[in-house]
């Protein structure tokens, strides 16, 4: 019914019948499905916020999306869960819309790239100027092998029974291992 970016882990919604599929797609279109993600990002933004910036395909690199006045509406809410050594934050994201690479594009636009994001955030550590941080922690995060982004919660009404359904998925081992190194 929906998809995750390559190298993003977590929950995906799959329909078991054509009727369920049609109804779930409509629920996505109407923003009736609550999706939450966890990510490790470089830096420490405000404790919470809303990004309401349209997104479109990049004219320079067709593999990338970008914030653009001519793009489609995109809204991302976030709140900080934890901060590690004033270097990296664990953040919860709630998608109000579902654009390609939405969280990654919005955070890169703010300058707080997702750890390990090879497409939108490789080698962008501008915020580190004049900050003291543990070099081992920085090295561990800098060499994380994928974007540290995880779809951890999906809630919706069952398309046939109308029963409220909610599913959660723990962080994968590689992100948990990185968090242990950050502590």
Cite the active site residues.
5
Contacts of 144 (CB under 8 A, 6+ apart): 40, 115, 116, 174, 178
How many other β-carbons are positioned within 10 Å of the β-carbon of residue 55? Answer: 22
* Cα gap 166→183, rounded to integer Å: 30
Contacts of 31 (CB under 8 A, 6+ apart): 96, 97
- Cβ proximity of 105 and 89 under 8 Å: no
Q: Which three-class secondary structure state does DSSP give residue 71?
A: coil
- H/E run at residue 92: strand 88-95
């Amino acid at each position: 019914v929906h998809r995750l970016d390559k190298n993003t882990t977590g929950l995906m919604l799959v329909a078991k019948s054509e009727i369920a599929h049609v109804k779930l797609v409509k629920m996505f279109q109407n923003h009736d499905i609550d999706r939450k993600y966890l990510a490790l990002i470089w830096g420490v933004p405000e404790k919470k916020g809303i990004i309401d910036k349209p997104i479109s395909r990049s004219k320079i690199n067709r593999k990338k999306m970008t914030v653009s006045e001519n793009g489609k509406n995109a809204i991302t809410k976030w709140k900080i869960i934890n901060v590690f050594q004033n270097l990296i934050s664990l953040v919860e994201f709630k998608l109000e819309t579902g654009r390609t690479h939405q969280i990654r594009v919005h955070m890169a636009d703010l300058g707080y790239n997702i750890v390990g994001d090879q497409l939108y955030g490789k080698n962008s550590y501008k915020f580190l100027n004049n900050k003291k941080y543990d070099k081992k922690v920085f090295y561990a995060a800098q060499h994380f092998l994928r974007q540290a982004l995880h779809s951890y919660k999906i809630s919706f009404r069952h398309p046939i029974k109308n029963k409220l359904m909610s599913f959660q998925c723990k962080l994968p081992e590689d992100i948990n291992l990185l968090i242990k190194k950050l502590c």
